[in-house]
Amino acid sequence: MDQLNPAATPLLSSKGRGWQGLEASFVRIQAGRIHVPGSPTHRLGIHFGRAVNAFCQCDGRQHRRRQSHGDIDIVPAGLDGWWEDDRDCTILRVAVQQELVHAAAEALGRNPDTVSLAPKFQLRDSRLESIAWALKAEIESPAPSDRTYAETLGLALAIRLVEGNGHSSSGTMPTGITLTNRHQRHLADFIEAHIDQSLSLADLAASVGLSVSHLKPLFRATFGMPIHRYILTRRVERARLLIISTEMPLAEIASAAGFAHQSHMTHWMRRILGLTPGTLSRMHS
């Protein structure tokens, strides 16, 4: 499970995508026994594909099991161990920073300093698994969503980790609460002013003096959609206006609207408007 282990061959990775608080990688693990040193981040390993006969030794315990698709190992920061598989296998690895766990604790109304994750092996958790596969879809997509989407998934994953440690979500924010009109206008203006830049949840939260964990539900309740979706719709609208009102090349329009590249813009314009940039340009030529 260590990213530097020579037995692991990275197939996909979130590196370079600007995610904050977590990283994800999809790796092929060679059969055999490997030592995995402790890490400063909490780590999840989600088994993908055909089952293997597996053994692990971690936190003073030994586990022999048939590791199947969707089985999850959770290794808190600082723990090392040995893992052994009887055949090559593939695993989605997710590294979660402590700061993200603290944000999750705050979202659940708990004192972050009291949160301590416990190691778990061959865990079955449908919610964690769904989030994990959504992260995998992001790192394998040639046209990923705005990075706020991955950060939202990361916070949801961290919340589930804290909940799975035996804590309920009774401290979550009550429904019906929205952003103030001032905060709503500020966020809308902030996004428009920085639409050509890579926006993060932390950027938006800091601009109105809220924590990320509080901004997320308030934004959705106020704007009627998740943050990442709102940003994508505004990027598409900026691109649409530039296409119909200027002679800029499409690649320059994609950059000016904050898309990673022209095909990224094309993908989301087709998804949201049902039209490609080329079609839109011809309609207004």
pLDDT at 160: 92
Q: 25-43 burial, b if ≥16 CB within 10 A, otherwise e?
A: bbbebeeeebebeebebbb
User: What stretches of the chain show up as alpha helix (H) in DSSP?
Assistant: 98-107, 126-140, 147-163, 181-193, 201-207, 212-223, 227-245, 250-256, 262-273, 277-283
Task: Give yes or no for a contact between 88 and 31, defined as CB atoms under 8 angstroms apart.
Answer: yes
- Whether the predicted pLDDT of 236 surpasses 90: yes
- Whether the predicted pLDDT of 171 surpasses 50: no
Name the least confident of 54-63, 137-146, 166-175. Answer: 166-175
pTM: 0.76
pLDDT level of residue 110 (50, 70, 90 thresholds): confident
pLDDT level of residue 146 (50, 70, 90 thresholds): confident
Tell me the C-alpha distance between 148 and 110, whole Å. 24
Tell me the C-alpha distance between 254 and 225, whole Å. 23
